[in-house]
Amino acid sequence: MRKPRQKIFLQCTVMLILLLGLTPTLLFAQNVLSGRVLDEKKLPLPGAGIKLKLSGKTTVTGDNGTFSINVPANEKTLIVSFIGYPAQEIEIKNGVSSYNIVLTPDAKNLNDVVVIGYGTQKKSDVTGSVAGIKGDALLEVPAANPIAALQGRVSGVDISRNSSRPGAGGQIRIRGNRSLSGTSDPLIVLDGVPFNGSVNEINNDDIASIDILKDASSTAIYGFRGSNGVILITTKRGRIGKPQLTYNSYYGFSQVRDQFNQFNAEEFVAFRNAASPAYTAGYSPLEQQGIANGTSTNWQDYLYKKGFVTDQQLGISGGSEGINYSLSGGYFNEEGVITGVGFERFALNTTIDATVNKWIKIGLTTRNTLTYGSGAGVNPLYATMRITPLAPAYNPDGSIYLYPQDGTVDQTATANPLTLSDRNNIIDRTRRIRTNNVLYAEVNILPGLKYKLNLGLDFRQENRGTFYGPKTIIRPDAATAAQATASISNGESWTFLAENILTYNKTIAKDHRIDLTGLFSIQRDRGFTNAFNGVGFPSEAVQYYNFFLAQTITAVDGGATGFSRGGLQSFMGRVNYAYKDRYLATFTFRRDGSSVFPVNPYLNYPAAAIGWNISNEDFMKNQKIVSNLKLRASYGVTGNPSIPTDATRGSLQSNRYNYGTENVQGYYIGSLANLDLRWESTKQLNIGLDYGFLNNRITGSIEVYKQNTDDLIINKQLPRSNGATSFFTNAAATSGKGIEFNINTLNIVPEKTNGFSWSSDFNFSINREKIVRLADGSTQQDVGNGWFVGQPINVIYDFTKLGIWQTSEAVEAASYGGYSAVPGQIKIADLNGDKIINDQDRSIIGTFQPKIIMGMTQRVSYKNFDLSVVAFSRLGNKIVAPYLTTDGGTSGYFAFLNGRVNQVKVDYWTPTNPTNAFPRPAGGATSLPYSSTLGYFDGSFVKIRSINLGYSFPSALVSKLGLGGLRLYATANNPFILYSPFVKSGLGVDPEGTGVGGAIGNNAIANGRAITAGLDLPSTRQFLFGINAKF
């Protein structure tokens, strides 16, 4: 054991000697300075960095914030820095050897550094539209992933929830939608490397900051990937100081905010009676018994349980001369309010930054996650809500009553929701492994000239297996294991990125600051997925573990399976110029080449921006009101990377033939190649004003923008003499414009109120998008796809419901051609007045685009207590509740208002209840004509997203415990909905979506782009209790 140790010691010593030898040693006379660094609450800040400006010598504060450092005689300035605080320069005064330095947090500081693409910039130098949020602020909403936490926090970023499931992300739109067929999702860049895949794999706690690039000048450096905006996520790294251990943890529980209102037994009997005689099946023996016994079962009571959530994060970070490091491990687990639905994440991260010498710095970030999602395909809501309330949940002997629809046609279509606990027969597990690594080397070539090599390697693997065994609510119709279904899919993909970045900054003649960035980068992606389904297992014990035992195995084609590969090569150059810190200019040029385009792979993306720091002008020097005023303008071109697979190449389709007994497969050209296809491109003009008043107690910005997206890719029909039906081409155009506003105020500062402080952030954004052109100049609408020139991209095109035909209107109701109605049926507006109800009577009756989005955060602190409240609002958008419609198919609620099954309680029409809300049960027929009109609602809401109350223990007490800091907190997530017409109507529980698509087809809503509030896991209210500890 001795020898290796000696060896290491020797090595270290040699290295130390080398390092010391390489460091220019200064032999001047020295003084010893000492002092203490405190935070704004006058609490000591251990681990703060102290740097001598001239010599570059550094030290770090100790446990109680104290430091001491030898200072050469010629040294004039100390620089004190701490993460989350602006660096402060302290003048070294002759004869003063002790300094008490108080740092104030940097939330609104203009010297704050923001992350921009391929670098960072002082906030006062930024010319584009960049919005950011710091990690601490993000943690005010404890959530499974950063996107969920970001909702309502940044203006111009619309995050609409599209799933109520544990760990679900959300649909992110930066300045609205632009593309018709392609994605409008922004590019996520994690520590400089484009990030593909699930945001669930980013641990909230590891995030130092999120910066969002919104305008074209900022995003143009991401070229063809920039038009949907860019979200830059920067994670925490180690900094100089002794090892610091942090432990953050919370534990909590969740419960459904509300159950769906359903008919109870008495109401159900009345409802079914109202549906008769059109509903002919009457009551099953079991139901008759239920009526006699007074049974009234609320099946949702047997469906929901209390969910729980926990997050455990342990981190250690520190650094000494030359080497900084951080390690963190995290565990997150959320169990949903329905058995078998949950999300679990293990995370392990390391960062190392090694300054080899004055010239070279090398570092590594490695971020590894393992996630388990369960129950992605498990949704028993509909199956539960349709069960008759007249049936009991249990048999007299206490066992589960398996088929409560016994004796009806739905006998084998529904099983008791209590069967969800059959964990051997309902399995749906998705496991993802991801390792995301960035290795960098930085070389200081000459003063101001720096070369950086970034190598990124991201690998992810996903495995999903499902098994739906017999006699459960998921597969009630399967009586035996032989009817059970299993599926398995496996996929992997990797991304490799190599970036060469050359930066040069120089100040010329004092007043001219120039900052140059050049980039050459290469990226490759490759991935594939295989998926199989199996049926006919000998025993449910097999689950999805041995497909050899299945009778039938089918390979899944399309969507889930396949192969993808991408290659990208880019050149980028950027010039930032500042004159006297007043006049700013940025020019960017990017040239991207992609493997997607076989003929001419390169496209160019130029952008320019100018800024004027008005507050730095001399004429502003003598006033105290305006502390910051900056006007910015930018213009640029960006692209959208989503190109349908094979769009440029054409693809074959298959058919079958035989020559006598010889069976053969045929292949023919299904879609034609389009070698001229280009990326969709967006031109955007942005004008912004940053302001700060009263010593920056009031800060914020206003942005206005206009964007035109052209060359949108659509699948265009071809004259068939081409030999194919359609091809992908750049034909359509959209435009958008909007206003974003945010204001951050320090309402009460602690210095004047004995420790009481209050600050507020408020933002709102308004975006209006519309389609400018479709397939060609003369095409005004594409009903099949739901696109209309002059309208937003996602609209509802359907009939207009006027009400319900009343008894007195029988003659008029019957007088229409096409839809000759009887009283009690839906009254549809005959828009063109031709006395015929047909397709011509459809019109655009709403859009999913909100009129305004707002967010607000209030923070109050008094002494050791802190309280924050985050509110979020979307107003003026429609949502669709498919369970209030019926189409007899898979989208609507099967047998809605038919009397056959139970459903959400609605105000239905009867001759004695002449409502205009919902039609007569069974409608006089077996299906409800025009029922899609029943499902549209105002999706506006104002919600409190989170209330967070914390208590930080006094430092004296904390020190006694041997800790560096200790805070306890309690959080309520989603505690209230302050305003929602939909929830108020009693027909739904949450105006935020549970999914995208799934509304009734019939061209009412195009293409599954609707945000639907459907029967999925209801939204929950969460209560968390947590601790933040520093050692």
Partner 1 sequence: MKVYKKIKFGWIALAIVAITPMSCKKQLESEYRSNLGPEYFLTASGLQAGLNASYATTRFFWGSEGFTSSQVAGTDEVIRGGDGGLDFHNYTNITPQNGTIQSIWDNSYVPINNLNGILELGPQANVDAAVKTQLLGEAKFLRGFYYFLLVQNFGNVPLKLAYNNKPSTEDLRSPKKDVYNAIIKDLTESVAQLGNIQAGQSKGRASKAAALHLLAKVYLAKAWDVDARDGDGTADFTKAYETAVGLINGKTTYGVDLEANFADVFREGNEYGKESLFVADRNTDPTYSESGYNNTTAPAGGNKENRLNCYWVSFYTLTRNVNEGIPGAPAVTTQMAARDQVSGRPYRRYRPTPYTYATFSNRDNDARYDGTFQKAWIMNLPSTQDNNVQTTTPAFTTTRNGVAVVPVKGVDTAIYMPGREVTVAERQRFKGVIIAPSQYNTEWFPTMTKHMDKTKQHYNDASDRPILLMRLGEVYLIAAEAAFKLGRSADAANMINVLRSRAAFRTTNTPAQNSASVLGNQISSADITLNFILEERTRELFGEMNRWLDLKRTGTLISRAVLYNEMAAPNIKDFHVLRPIPSASQLDLLTNRDQFPQNPGY
Cα distance between residue 1019 and residue 148, in whole Å: 13
Nearer to partner 1, 481 or 724 (CB): 724
- Taking residue 141's Cβ as centre, other Cβ atoms within 10 Å add up to 25
Work out how close the CB of 657 gets to partner 1 at its nearest, in angstroms, rounded to a whole number: 4
The answer to the question of residue 911 lying near partner 1 (CB under 8 A) is no
Question: What angle do the packed helices 285-293 and 265-275 form, to 10 degrees?
Answer: 130
Q: Which of residues 792-831 bind partner 1 (CB under 8 A)?
A: none
Contact flag: residue 579 with partner 1 (CB under 8 A): no
Which residue in 364, 453, 942, 949 binds partner 1 (CB under 8 A)? 453
Q: Token pair for residue 333? A: 């687990």
DSSP string across 364-427 = EEEEEEEEEEE-TT---HHHHHTS-TTS-SB-TTSSB-S-TTTTSTTTTT---GGGGG-TTTEE
d(CA 774, CA 227): 19
Among 60, 387, 568, 989, binds partner 1 (CB under 8 A): 568
Instruction: Name which position in 622, 665, 754, 912 contacts partner 1 (CB under 8 A).
Output: 665
By beta-carbon proximity to partner 1, the closer residue of 571 and 862 is 571
Residues 454-473 that bind partner 1 (CB under 8 A): 455
- Alpha-helical segments (H) within 619-725: none
Smallest CA-to-CA distance from 33 within 82, 87, 91 is with 91
Comparison of 453 and 689: residue with beta carbon closer to partner 1: 453
Among 197, 448, 567, 888, binds partner 1 (CB under 8 A): 567
Q: What is the b/e burial string over 300-309, where b = at least 16 CB atoms within 10 angstroms of the residue's CB?
A: bebbbbebbb
Residues in 495-514 at the binding interface with partner 1, rule: CB under 8 A: 498, 500
Contact range with partner 1 by CB under 8 A, out of 302-310, 448-456, 546-554, 611-619: 448-456
Q: What are phi and psi of 549, to 5 degrees?
A: -85, -5
If binding is defined by CB under 8 A, does position 443 make contact with partner 1?
A: yes
Q: Is residue 563 close enough to count as binding partner 1 by CB under 8 A?
A: yes
Q: Map tokens 């060359």 to a residue.
A: 711
Distance CA 45, CA 239 (A): 14
CA–CA distance, 131 with 386 (Å, rounded to integer): 47
Strands 230-235 and 187-190: parallel
The CB-of-571 to partner 1 minimum distance in angstroms stands at: 11
Site membership for partner 1, residue 704 (CB under 8 A) = no
Nearest distance, CB of residue 520 and partner 1, angstroms: 8
Length of the chain: 1031
- Under the binding rule (CB under 8 A), the answer on residue 569 touching partner 1 is yes
Integer CA distances (angstroms), 887 to 882, 883, 893, in order: 10, 10, 7
**Which one of the spans 334-342, 366-374, 564-572, 970-978 is the region binding partner 1 (CB under 8 A)?**
564-572
Residue from 323, 585, 724, 942 binding partner 1 (CB under 8 A): 724
- Which residue lies nearer to partner 1 by CB, 134 or 716? 716
Is 561 among the residues that bind partner 1 (CB under 8 A)?
yes
Based on CB atoms, which residue is closest to partner 1, 562 or 888? 562
The span of 189-197, 660-668, 850-858, 975-983 binding partner 1 (CB under 8 A) equals 660-668
Confirm or reject binding of residue 530 to partner 1 (CB under 8 A). no
CA distance 568 to 139: 35
Pairwise CA distance, residues 116 & 119, whole Å: 5
Q: Within 10 Å of residue 285's Cβ, how many Cβ atoms?
A: 10
Using the contact rule CB under 8 A, the part of the chain among 170-178, 589-597, 742-750, 885-893 near partner 1 is: 589-597
Q: How many residues bind partner 1 (CB under 8 A)?
A: 72
- Report the site for partner 1 in 18-37 (rule: CB under 8 A): 22
Contacting partner 1 within 616-655 (CB under 8 A): 645-646, 649-652, 654-655
Distance of closest approach, residue 660 Cβ to partner 1, in angstroms: 3
Report if residue 399 touches partner 1, rule: CB under 8 A. no
Q: In angstroms, how far apart are the furthest CA atoms of the chain?
A: 107
Q: Does 663 bind partner 1 (CB under 8 A)?
A: yes
Choice from 729, 767, 868, 952 touching partner 1 (CB under 8 A): 729
What's the token pair of residue 62?
Answer: 């100790």
Which parts of 591-620 interact with partner 1 (CB under 8 A)?
593-596, 598, 601
Write out the binding residues for partner 1, residues 745-764 only, by CB under 8 A: none
**Closer Cβ to partner 1, 16 or 22, answer by number:** 22
CA distances from 618 to 229, 630, 632 (A): 36, 14, 19
User: With respect to partner 1, which residue has the nearer C-beta, 57 or 524?
Assistant: 524
Among 6, 100, 280, 357, binds partner 1 (CB under 8 A): 357
- Give the H/E segment covering residue 570: strand 562-579
**463 or 674, CB closer to partner 1?**
674
CB of 453 to partner 1, least distance (A): 5
Q: How far apart are CA 944 and CA 504, in angstroms?
A: 46
Beta carbons of 852 and 942 less than 8 angstroms apart: no
What's the rounded Cα separation, in Å, for the pair 846 and 841? 15
Nearer to partner 1, 618 or 662 (CB): 662
Q: Report the C-alpha dihedral over residues 216, 218, 220, 225, rounded to 10 degrees.
A: -90
Q: Which of 294, 662, 752, 962 binds partner 1 (CB under 8 A)?
A: 662
CB of 676 to partner 1, least distance (A): 8
518 binding partner 1? (CB under 8 A) = no
Closest CA to 875 of 853, 890, 857: 853
Closest CA to 729 of 673, 802, 683: 673
Q: Would you count residue 773 as binding partner 1 (CB under 8 A)?
A: no
Q: Does 560 bind partner 1 (CB under 8 A)?
A: no
CB count in 10 Å sphere of residue 391 = 25
Closest to partner 1 by CB, 677 or 958: 677
Tell me if 324 sits within 8 A of 49, measured CB to CB.
no
Q: Number of C-alpha atoms within 13 angstroms, CB side, residue 477?
A: 5
As beta bridge partners, residue 846 has: 796
- Whether 109 and 94 have beta carbons less than 8 Å apart is answered as no
Among 288, 507, 722, 747, binds partner 1 (CB under 8 A): 722
Q: How far is the CB of 445 from partner 1 (least distance, A)?
A: 6
Q: Which is nearer to partner 1, 130 or 713 (CB)?
A: 713
Rg (CA), the chain: 32
Instruction: For the CB of residue 487, give the shortest distance to partner 1 in the complex, in Å.
Output: 19
Per-position x/- string for 222-261, each x denoting binding to partner 1 as judged by CB under 8 A, each - no binding: ----------------------------------------
Does the protein bind partner 1 through residue 364 (CB under 8 A)?
no
**Cβ 602 to partner 1 shortest distance, Å:** 9
Site for partner 1 in 53-92 (CB under 8 A): none
Among 457, 614, 673, 749, binds partner 1 (CB under 8 A): 673
**Which of 9, 28, 528, 545 contacts partner 1 by CB under 8 A?**
528
Any residues with CB less than 8 A from the CB of 255 and at least 6 apart, and which? 304, 306, 307, 337, 1020, 1021
- Any contact of residue 674 with partner 1 (CB under 8 A)? yes
By beta-carbon proximity to partner 1, the closer residue of 665 and 754 is 665
The one segment of 257-265, 276-284, 673-681, 866-874 that binds partner 1 by CB under 8 A: 673-681
Q: Helix, strand, or coil here: 67?
A: strand
Distances (CA, A) of 796 to 770, 832, 848: 14, 18, 8
Question: Is 2 a binder of partner 1 (CB under 8 A)?
Answer: no
| Rounded Cα–Cα distance for residues 469 and 439 (Å) | 47
